[in-house]
Amino acid sequence: MKETDFAQYLTQFLSVYLPCQVGSKRNTQLAYRDSFSLFLRYCRDQENLLPEKLTVAKINRDLILRFLQWLEEERNCKAATRNQRLAAIHSFFSFLMVEEPQYIQQSQKILAIPMKKTDTVPLMYLPLDSIKGLLEQPDRTTIQGKRDAVLLSLLYDTGARVQELVDLKVCDVALNDTVTIVLTGKGGKSRIVPVMRPTGELLKQYMEGSGLASPVYGRNPLFTNRSNKPLTRAGVTYILKKYAAQAQAMGIKDISDEITPHWLRHYGE
């Protein structure tokens, strides 16, 4: 089967441009891949455009607009999800018009499709007393409990995003008089963050108890699950909700079933 130009450019975009030229994080690469997978299914099922025969010339502004409308009306996607899919398409056509200038006018028309305004999500946070009650829930006499106590404390102490914490390697921790961690955020930008003394002590105890204090284990993930695999964002959310339920059972106020790790990045007096 003859390879189409769209197949060639999409493969280059996902396999070379994003990881090697832009340096996109793995999660971004996967999100863009999923967006195009969904777009290809739409083209096949709704437009009778088979993926193996789809060419760049057939992907115009009107087709993209119909795809976005289908996302909202048929798949009940919210504006934020619709915008995420459009961001992947925008990125591809920004890449395409530089690689193949003959598509610049077509690309510009697609790049002109605007993002939709999204509803402002209320900022959720926990009062300090509730945070204290939550952080006291893990059983610090066990390795798993120490891990969970460190995890929750770092979320609160550093204001880190969940992905930044699950990406931490042992070598990102400096166990000096003032304990610091290196967080790598969006765009691969790193920053050194000092932690409060109680959190630093917890971190030392956890690493020593887990056998992670030796430089030999520098490239090991700092947080792992029961299968000794890197902890995921979903795993962090599960841990948080587990201790939130315990705190609720103890009568600690202001802790909702809807709690997310992001709540610990904001706190009130």
> How far is it, in rounded angstroms, from Cα 200 to Cα 128?
19
Structural domains of the chain, ranges and CATH numbers in brackets:
5-111 (1.10.150), 126-268 (1.10.443.10)
pLDDT in tens, 249-261: 888 877 777 777 7
pLDDT in tens, 15-35: 999 998 888 878 889 899 999
| Arithmetic mean of pLDDT over the chain | 88
Specify the pTM.
0.57
Q: Output the CA–CA distances (angstroms, integers) from residue 264 to 72, 121, 159, in the order listed.
A: 31, 16, 7
Residues in contact with 188: Cβ distance below 8 Å, sequence separation at least 6, in sequence order: 23, 25
Secondary structure (3-state) at 250: coil
Please state, for a pLDDT cut of 90, what percent of the chain lies above it. 57
Taking the CA atoms of 12, 16, 19 and 20 in sequence, report the sign of the dihedral they define. Answer: negative
Identity (one letter) of the amino acid at 112? A
Which residues partner with 191 through β-bridges?
A: 183
pLDDT of residue 269 exceeding 50: no
